[in-house]
Amino acid sequence: MRFDTVIIGGGLSGLTAGISLQEAGRKVAIVSAGQNAMHFFSGNFEDIGPARDRVAALFAAAGVRTNAMDGLQLMPMGSFRPASLTLEDVTVFPDEHAAEKALIVNFTGFHDFYGTFIAEALEKAGATCRIRFVHLPEMEHLRLSPSEMRSVNIARAMDEHWEKVVGDIRILHKDEDLIILPQVFGLRDAAVLDKIRTALPARVAFVGTMPPSVPGIRTQMLLKRRFEVLGGTFLMGDEVTSAALHEGVVSSITTRNLDTARIFADHFILSSGGYFSKGLVTTPTQVIEPLFGLDIAFPENRNDWYDADFFAHQPYMDFGVKTDAELHAIKDGQPIQNLFAIGSVLGNTRKEDFGTAAGMAIRTAFAAADTIKGGNV
Amino acid sequence: MKRNEYDVIIVGGGITGAGTARDCAMRGLRVLLIERHDIATGATGRNHGLLHSGARYAVTDQESANECIRENMILRRIASHCVDETDGFFITLPEDDLNYQAKFVESCLAAGIPAEIVDPKDALRMEPALNPDLIGAVKVPDGSVDPFRLCAANMVDAKLHGAQVLLYTEVTGFIKNGDRIVGVKTYNHQTHKSGEYYANITVNAAGIWGQHIADLAGVKIGMFPAKGALLIFAHRVNGIVINRCRKPSNADILVPGDTVCIIGTTSTKIPFEECDGVRVTPEEVNLLVEEGAKLAPALASTRILRAYAGVRPLVSADNDPSGRNISRGIVCLDHEQRDGLKGFITITGGKLMTYRLMAEMATDMVCKKLSVDKACETAEIPLPGAGVRSFREVAEKIWENPTTVQKAVAGRLGTGAARVQAADSLDQSLICECEEVSVGEINSAIERLDVNGLTDLRRRTRVGMGTCQGELCGCRAAGLLAKAHGCTDRAREDLKEFMTERWKGMYPIGWGDALREAEYTQWVYKHVLGV
């Protein structure tokens, strides 16, 4: 099997690079283990910087609508966070005075959405809030198991029964100018969001829940579909088992599902993620990139990997694969000319050039894809 | 008589204080217990949770060994819901001296501990996690005990017998009348109010902090803070307690408890200033993993959940720098006889296993001073929640809960499980999925068990003690607390403290899956929830 480019990892970074290359007519395969950080996505492309319009266009073509607007995102625990590009689910407010009067609606027994915290934040900014609960008999089956009242399960029920909930909210609504709902709508199709906005008599803001993230899962699904529609090969539920390196370039890989069949490509992109995704692996003494054994800088003394304050910046979050200016991965001090490292596997090593978080995942994906295409970086 | 007058004031809300409060209250005394943090925050909550058979001390300290086996049998009766009757092995490895085994068994039998030599092959069949290289095994009646549950049960029973309990209240000084202590001065860390309470007798049961309490009273006790570090593994690797059959040393006990197992401990002398914030070092972690894998090789590849350390409240007796040769024996000081200070008693030394006996000795002394003639009944009357041997009988009372939750709740609360709200399916909804803690159980704890925050809640329900270390349930429980206490600012600050406290035990073992979990938690809290 031969491709122009093989991408290892099907998260935000890998999909963005894959779509970008497929759009340019390249033949791309993505090897994806399955779940990725998109399932825990807040919907805010932090640090997107100069790539804002480009990614908005790429996503729009995939059916993912975004808000390109500078403002504040209302977070689940009641804080506000700056945003310049978000998924359409996220309402961006110009300032913390989000409403005069807000109605916060939750589902009875749903413990992953925190109305009281949101209410308090809005009240501090001068609003008055009411928290009300809705309950559908159609959701009763979720309670048969005590761990089923979670965002995605509710979202599945809402894909079918959202109109009933809207009906209940219309009865609850008095004179509020803002209605706040948990992000449990439009798992299959984001069109529901607009329908809800139109059907309710006030502005609607969807606020995040505990993971999994319904907007994140939908986005991942749409991006994957877009990649495949463009002709890309998405190897789902597979993982790379070995990589062959000859004279400083990667020639081929093998995967678990394809057994002995080798996959050859001109270029390889490593978007295997950070620690959680096992793109980076730690032992008591080392930080390792397990597939290629790429260079990673980390302090020898394990005490220096952490800050005792959980909420302080954690040094281990900075560790990542070393790269040259064009994101070629470095092994034994030498850049591998056809291997690019993008996304969380970089840690914060390229913060100055590409920022951090979701913005970094996208910007490094574009940069690597552009280099491969031979275009402008 | 004034409202703030009592027969006896007990300083310290660990297991010794709680047990003493229960005993005093059961003998009809008016009791006030004062604790500066929450229950079980000192050494009580920071040990193996080993229900010692006493075998560990048999060779070196017959008296302690005998105390242990007697209390062991008593706790099985009065605290059945806190005890897991696992039995224990003392194994001999090729590098150990097998001759020690004979002396060991002989000493056990002399102390009244049933000890039976088991063929290594049979031992392996009974406990497959054992190091297969073992050359000898002795079976003894060790077990595991949940110290949080045990402490809470004593506290609840003391209150049922009329005792009053002040948590988050620190003793700042004593009120004296001539050569007699007649009361204590306090400061409440939550209300920021000072107070004064009076009693004929004050019992110092503050563990390692008892030296400071004695200082405040104007008497000197030479205590010996010895730090012991332990690791919790994410799986119950062994079903039977595993010890090394040799002179007690580092990391030679592996105890199964609930869904996990615990290896420990080390012993390091530390200065008093460090007692409040003990941390586990990478060197200690390495030693515990290395030595632990000799007991059960699977530990080398098992995920570690967290590291923690406690400080043994030992009373200095000799010049041994490690603190290991000091007797675990009980020290009950009558300061009237010792220092000429009336109305003041110190109960210290000892260990979790002998808390009830310590409480009995202290209470006997209190009763003698107050001329109260009532015999101790704590060895016969079961603690609240105990008394039903099979969880099935309890579980039937909460039949409407899913079976796994029935097991978890009945295990934690014993007969008290019947009190957990399960009015409807809403109460059954799980807050903590790792430990199967439901909305109903959390609300019951908030209502009945003096819960001030998430960390208190953890000690009473195991919320956040499982694999995810509070990453998901922390927020959910914070939501319930915010509702119960009507204050979200407090709940949010509390959540931050809770996560910081969880992290304290995670970063010393921050590699592999533990670091994966930590990175995920960081992401969820910072980027998704915006804490």
For residue B323, tell me if it sits in a domain: no
Which of B448, B457, B462, B456 has the alpha carbon at shortest distance from B156?
A: B448
The count of structural domains within chain B is 3
- Do B113 and B160 share a domain, yes or no? no
Among the partner residues A149, A208, A284, nearest to B511 by beta-carbon distance: A284
Among A77, A87, A108, A136, the residue to mutate for chain B (most B Cβ within 10 A): A77
For residue B76, tell me if it sits in a domain: no
Specify the 3-state DSSP secondary structure of A310: coil
For residue B401, tell me if it sits in a domain: no
Range(s) of the domain holding residue B38: 5-43+148-222+328-370
Which of B276, B292, B315 delimits the end of a domain? B315
- Do B427 and B512 share a domain, yes or no? yes
For residue B160, tell me if it sits in a domain: yes
Position A130 scores a pLDDT of 95
Amino acid identity for residue A102 in this structure: A
- Hey, is the C-beta of A302 within 8 angstroms of any chain B C-beta? yes
- The DSSP result for A1-50, as a single string, is -EEEEEEE--SHHHHHHHHHHHHTT--EEEEE-S--GGGG--SB-TT-GG
Which of B160, B170, B211 has the alpha carbon at shortest distance from B191?
A: B170
Among B406, B528, B531, the residue to mutate for chain A (most A Cβ within 10 A): B528
For residue B156, tell me if it sits in a domain: yes
- Do B436 and B467 share a domain, yes or no? yes
- Do B352 and B480 share a domain, yes or no? no
In whole angstroms, how far apart are CA A173 and each of A107, A158, B159? 15, 19, 47
Among A96, A117, A311, the residue to mutate for chain B (most B Cβ within 10 A): A117
Residue B26 tokens read as 């059961």
CATH number of the domain that B300 lies in?
3.30.9.10
- Hey, is the C-beta of B290 within 8 angstroms of any chain A C-beta? no
- Do B177 and B232 share a domain, yes or no? no
- The DSSP result for A102-132, as a single string, is EEEEEETT-TTS-HHHHHHHHHHTT-EEEEE
Q: How many Å lie between the alpha carbon of B281 and the closest alpha carbon of chain A?
A: 8
- Hey, is the C-beta of B512 within 8 angstroms of any chain A C-beta? yes
- Do B180 and B200 share a domain, yes or no? yes
Please give the Cα distance from B451 to B443 (Å, whole number).
10
- Do B39 and B157 share a domain, yes or no? yes
- Which residue on chain A is closest to B524 by alpha carbon? A40
- Hey, is the C-beta of A117 within 8 angstroms of any chain B C-beta? yes
For residue B360, tell me if it sits in a domain: yes
Q: What is the phi/psi pair of residue B57, to 5°?
A: -100, -5
Contact A116 B483 (CB under 8 A): yes
Contact B499 A117 (CB under 8 A): no
Residue A113 tokens read as 């959405």
Sheet order of strands, A92-93 included: A80-87, A66-74, A92-93
Position B321 scores a pLDDT of 47
Q: What is the phi/psi pair of residue B118, to 5°?
A: -120, 140
Alpha helices in A125-271 (DSSP H): 151-172, 191-199, 214-229
Q: Which residue has the tokens 């122009």?
A: A4
pLDDT tens for chain B, 531 residues long, are 467 999 999 999 999 999 999 999 999 999 999 999 999 999 999 999 999 999 999 999 999 999 999 999 999 999 988 999 999 999 999 999 999 999 999 999 999 999 999 999 999 999 999 999 999 999 999 999 999 989 999 998 999 999 999 999 999 999 999 999 999 999 999 899 999 999 999 999 999 999 999 999 999 988 888 899 999 999 999 999 999 999 989 999 999 988 899 999 999 989 988 988 898 998 999 999 999 999 999 999 999 999 999 998 878 654 444 555 555 588 999 999 999 999 999 999 889 999 999 999 999 999 999 999 999 999 999 998 886 555 566 666 665 666 666 666 666 666 666 666 555 667 778 888 888 888 888 888 888 778 888 888 888 888 888 878 888 788 888 888 888 887 788 888 888 888 888 899 999 999 999 999 999 998 888 888 888
Q: Name the pTM for this structure.
A: 0.87
Contact A276 B520 (CB under 8 A): yes
- Do B461 and B505 share a domain, yes or no? yes
- Hey, is the C-beta of B483 within 8 angstroms of any chain A C-beta? yes
Task: Please identify every stretch of chain A with a pLDDT value under 70, giving residue numbers as ranges.
Answer: 146, 375-377
Please give the Cα distance from A178 to A129 (Å, whole number).
9
Please give the Cα distance from B55 to B113 (Å, whole number).
7
- Do B240 and B265 share a domain, yes or no? yes
- Hey, is the C-beta of B117 within 8 angstroms of any chain A C-beta? no
Among B290, B497, B519, the residue to mutate for chain A (most A Cβ within 10 A): B519
Contact B527 A357 (CB under 8 A): yes
Contacts of B1 (CB under 8 A, 6+ apart): none
- Which residue on chain A is closest to B510 by alpha carbon? A284
pLDDT tens track for A149-167: 889 999 999 999 999 999 9
- Do B252 and B140 share a domain, yes or no? yes
C-alpha A217 chain-centroid distance: 8
In whole angstroms, how far apart are CA B405 and each of B45, B409, B435? 24, 6, 9
Domains and CATH numbers, chain A: 2-42+218-373 (3.50.50.60), 97-210 (3.40.50)
- Do B257 and B352 share a domain, yes or no? no
CATH number of the domain that B209 lies in?
3.50.50.60
For residue B430, tell me if it sits in a domain: yes
- Do B140 and B189 share a domain, yes or no? no
For residue B387, tell me if it sits in a domain: no
- Hey, is the C-beta of B187 within 8 angstroms of any chain A C-beta? no
